[in-house]
Copies of this chain bind each other. A is one copy, B any other.
Amino acid sequence: MLNGRTPSVKDVAAAAGVSLGTVSNVMNRPEVVSARTRERVERAMSELGFVRNESARQLRAGTSRTLAYVMLDGTNPFFHDVAQGIELAAEDADLSLFICNSNSRLAREEVHLDRLLQQRVQGILITPVDPAAPHLDELIRRGVPMVIVDRIRNADSCCSVAVDDVLGGRIAVEHLAEQGHTRVAFIGGPESLGQVHERLVGAREIWESLGRDPDDLIYLPTETLSVAEGRSAGERLAGLPARRRPTAAFCANDLLALGLLQQIIGAGLRVPEDLAIVGFDDIEFAAAAAVPLTSVRQPRQELGRAAAQLVLDEATNPDHRHRQLQFTPELVARASTVKRARAL
């Protein structure tokens, strides 16, 4: 009677000689069914190899058991660490995590969001290409719990979790100034990315507050935040005549810094003697680089975990209030800026 089909509750009920309501109870409210029947039903389940159909469950119960994270750039380990933090929180709440990757493309992000809406996920965590994109407002309008990760949203129309990027920019450049650098490059882009913009703002703020000439903080824009772009920025930099060339570079993330480092060393220059380099994020590979990389650390897992908790609160707590969590970044000094690296 169950020819090939995967067995349903109905089959289990028949096999155990109970009604299908009872089978459902065994799964969802085991305490209301007597030990004897529960036992019987469970045996029937395992004999038939019953696996509950999540679509049907979700359709009827109206609630899904998954969270989703739309990450900005899958090639950047930073986001995977964030995802790992989310996953841990999801696991605690007995939820699955759907991971998508927009690859910094707005269109791709939109496709993913649309699909997630169709899946009726419980909540969406996202590091958006553009936090002002209308499709995010659309999510809010629909009442889908959402939290922005690694970006603060001006309006308090949703929760967000991030580090203070302006401060990050300040401490990076302050560190370089302390090391005696007087011409510094800021490498990063596109500037439309808030992360890039704010790190640059912080860099300029501290530079000027130290009484330096704004022209000595040189903005070297890049197309993306990738290792390859870092290398190409390195070419541009190495091409400059020595006296025009900055003596230090602050990169908007570690991938850029790693590419820059590679290129600079390949060109026969020394780090930090000819060029000091500071990255951002402090991904695991920063410490293992050609010259261990000084970087501005973000609490990556913590970011993810906090975000997940916020989205869960929004999903389950009726008097949820939107919050903007801000973490403090921290400078990790290594050999790429400090001559004669001591073990730290």
Which A positions have Cβ atoms within 8 angstroms of B? Answer: 6, 49, 51-56, 58-59, 64, 74-75, 77, 80, 83-84, 87, 96, 98-101, 114-115, 117-120, 142, 227, 258-259, 261-262, 266, 284-285, 287-292, 343
Q: B residues within 8 A CB of A59?
A: 53, 55-56, 59
A-B contact pairs, 13 of them (CB 8 A): A49-B142, A51-B117, A53-B59, A53-B118, A55-B56, A55-B64, A87-B101, A96-B100, A98-B98, A259-B288, A266-B343, A285-B285, A290-B291
Nearest opposing residue in chain B for A64, CB measure: B55
Partner of A290, one of B51, B87, B288: B288
Q: Are B284 and A75 in contact (CB under 8 A)?
A: yes
Q: Are A288 and B52 in contact (CB under 8 A)?
A: no
Partner of A6, one of B51, B55, B142: B142
Partner of A120, one of B54, B115, B118: B54
Q: Are A54 and B284 in contact (CB under 8 A)?
A: no
Q: B residues within 8 A CB of A119?
A: 54-55
Q: B residues within 8 A CB of A77?
A: 77
Q: B residues within 8 A CB of A99?
A: 98-99
Q: B residues within 8 A CB of A51?
A: 114, 117-118
A261 to B258, CA, bound (A): 16
In the complex, which of the residues A55, A87, A266, A290 has the most CB atoms of chain B within 10 Å of its own CB atom? A55
Q: Are A227 and B288 in contact (CB under 8 A)?
A: yes
Q: B residues within 8 A CB of A266?
A: 343
Partner of A285, one of B56, B58, B96, B288: B288
Q: Are A115 and B87 in contact (CB under 8 A)?
A: no
Partner of A258, one of B54, B96, B285: B285
Q: What's the minimum C-beta distance from A4 to chain B, rounded to whole angstroms?
A: 9
Partner of A288, one of B83, B96, B258: B258
Nearest opposing residue in chain B for A95, CB measure: B115
A118 to B58, CA, bound (A): 11
A186 to B6, CA, bound (A): 47
Known: A49-B142, A227-B284. 7 other contacts (CB 8 A): A55-B58, A75-B84, A75-B284, A87-B101, A96-B100, A98-B98, A98-B99
Q: Are A115 and B96 in contact (CB under 8 A)?
A: yes
A285 to B283, CA, bound (A): 11
A288 to B6, CA, bound (A): 51
Q: Are A118 and B52 in contact (CB under 8 A)?
A: yes
Q: Are B284 and A262 in contact (CB under 8 A)?
A: no
A258 to B64, CA, bound (A): 41
Which 7 interchain pairs have the tightest Cβ spacing? A54-B118, A55-B58, A55-B55, A55-B59, A258-B288, A285-B285, A99-B99
A100 to B84, CA, bound (A): 10
Q: Are B120 and A55 in contact (CB under 8 A)?
A: yes
Q: B residues within 8 A CB of A84?
A: 74-75, 101
Q: B residues within 8 A CB of A80?
A: 74-75, 80
Q: What's the minimum C-beta distance from A59 to chain B, rounded to whole angstroms?
A: 4
Q: What's the minimum C-beta distance from A138 to chain B, rounded to whole angstroms?
A: 8
Nearest opposing residue in chain B for A98, CB measure: B98
A99 to B97, CA, bound (A): 8
Q: What's the minimum C-beta distance from A122 to chain B, rounded to whole angstroms?
A: 13
